Structure 1
């Protein structure tokens, strides 16, 4: 806390277990005194997940799970991931001080009320807080099923689903194999697996191991691709804050099947990478402010 006051850093990394004060309390106090992007770097356990989610609620922007076997056996790879996260978060901070790039034109918004049968939401860096804001503001009578795909490891998705369910009027649960798509229920894709729509029974979820060559487990592209094939014009994909371009290829398939894509606007993203990749390809039907997404989902579908 003293260094945050004195140095005013671009980014802070924070563990949880420390002498004198735990990391969540430190995050809360730093955000109150000297708001700074904070990356939680904590253990890959269920309790570590719960603590990390507490830190996100306190104001941390993102997290990187600390797998102790990876620290000992492949520390170079973990170091590279940490560096990439820090650089991306710092770049977002610096971007607020530099001229904006001219935005890509987005076509006029089409009326899709009554057409949509399924909503798929994808996010990564900054996603837990952004998605929480959207889901907990959906009404109890929200008429559509939702699949939520976040780049999170297994213990984190379970803890996040439990927490979000307690905060929301809609039902939220971690998806399991053969779950049904139920109106007013949000199924969170489990970490370490791929979540797709069953190729025959299109109202059923399949949770599979997937291909190890795919970078993300769960992967937004894979879920969107299967949903596009199953739902066609009845699908709405929403691409939110996140690093990289996961969701772009899936969005292209959604559009080919006459489905619809919304993206989160740049100003409200922690990292604009995923929505930007979709917008630059001309695949976004609507750019939405985070604060408006719940209302738009509730009133325009």
Structure 2
């Protein structure tokens, strides 16, 4: 059965373009369009689409308000189109907080310079969040509530225990901004270990995301800069579009921010970050894989596990996309599989 899509944008040209790109995939059917947020709410109630693509800035009612109202009345997976600017980043993060599942750049050349590749990425993203269905389309609070009622450790009664860790390393992608916010806001101000965060995100988004997390959390959060020293209670977010690795020198551990090599799919890469952590802190890393598309993090997690470190992964029911956590769980690398609502409290207890 085709994924049924409602396309929402105030530009008739953009609506036509998105419709043409989606309808080129036989597994997707555009069943309606809307020119503003209020019309989107009405169309959602009438058509009950599987997925909605949503612009942010529109007349009558903006996309963020529309997302919030749709998620209250008829929860539906929503893909936002965003401009890759500072203001666009802040608005997109607001939309994700309101319940949107994912986002893509509104300029398709920012997705890929190859038009056919951009279309494939758009269609794949729509199919994926559509396949997850309404069960994944909910506000962060609703996801946490559902997850709390669905314990899913590796074995019955098996819960994380306090461990001897020198670093916490977290990797995530689709759905990650909301998941990271949920985890990090549950940590106390005196959290005793450094944290590195690797989130698939454009370079224009990570400064705003780090600032948002810092304003919400008791721990300190900042976008990592080359040469930053790891410190207890400080979470360093890998800059989008670059790679972040660790280096031990002179009795301290610093981050090294590097340009991504040609052909690297993920920028930043969880695999590279985890691999670096495995070398600098052998057997002393608590690594966590949260919601995300693909398998980035699996090979880095393998290196961590081979050195004796510990891996937690988010469970399927609380993920926006159960791709990255599934990859490590299916490879037998997860020591614990936890609902999102349990990860923050368990982390505060285990470290």
Superposition TM-score tier, normalisation by shorter sequence: over 0.9
In the aligned structure 1, how far is the partner of 2:335 from the partner of 2:156? 6
Q: Any idea what SS the aligned residue of 2:281 has?
A: helix
Query: What is the correspondence of 1:15-94 to structure 2 with a 5 Å cutoff?
Result: 15-67=55-107, 69-70=109-110, 74-93=114-133
Q: Any idea what SS the aligned residue of 1:152 has?
A: coil
Q: Any idea what SS the aligned residue of 2:118 has?
A: helix
In the aligned structure 1, how far is the partner of 2:274 from the partner of 2:288? 10
In the aligned structure 2, how far is the partner of 1:188 from the partner of 1:119? 12
Query: Of 194, 203, 210, which aligns to 1:154?
Result: 203
Alignment TM-score, normalising by the size of structure 2: 0.79
Deviation (angstroms), 1:113? 2.6
Conserved 8 A contact 1:108-1:285: no
More off after superposition, 124-133 vs 59-68: 59-68
In the aligned structure 2, how far is the partner of 1:71 from the partner of 1:156? 14
More off after superposition, 115-124 vs 65-74: 65-74
In the aligned structure 2, how far is the partner of 1:156 from the partner of 1:249? 26
Q: Deviations over 1:244-297 (max 9, x none)?
A: 000100010001111111100111001111011101111111111100111111
Q: Any idea what SS the aligned residue of 2:204 has?
A: helix
Q: Which aligned runs of 4 or more in structure 1 are off by greater than 3 angstroms?
A: 67-74, 103-112, 199-202
User: Counterpart in 2 of 1:100?
Assistant: none
Q: How many residues align?
A: 295
User: Counterpart in 1 of 2:265?
Assistant: 215
Deviation (angstroms), 1:176? 0.4
Conserved 8 A contact 2:200-2:240: yes
Q: Any idea what SS the aligned residue of 2:293 has?
A: coil
Deviation (angstroms), 1:58? 1.1
Q: Any idea what SS the aligned residue of 2:162 has?
A: coil
Deviation (angstroms), 1:71? 7.5
Conserved 8 A contact 1:106-1:282: no
Q: Which runs of 5+ in 2 are unaligned?
A: 1-40, 137-151
Conserved 8 A contact 1:107-1:286: no
Conserved 8 A contact 1:106-1:284: no
More off after superposition, 28-37 vs 237-246: 28-37
User: Counterpart in 1 of 2:218?
Assistant: 169
Deviation (angstroms), 1:94? 7.5
Conserved 8 A contact 1:43-1:67: yes
The RMSD of aligned alpha carbons is 2.1
User: Counterpart in 1 of 2:290?
Assistant: 240
User: Counterpart in 2 of 1:300?
Assistant: 350
Distance change in 2, residues 1:88/1:222 (3 Å): same
Conserved 8 A contact 2:77-2:134: no
Q: Any idea what SS the aligned residue of 1:203 has?
A: strand
User: Counterpart in 1 of 2:13?
Assistant: none
Deviation (angstroms), 1:37? 1.0
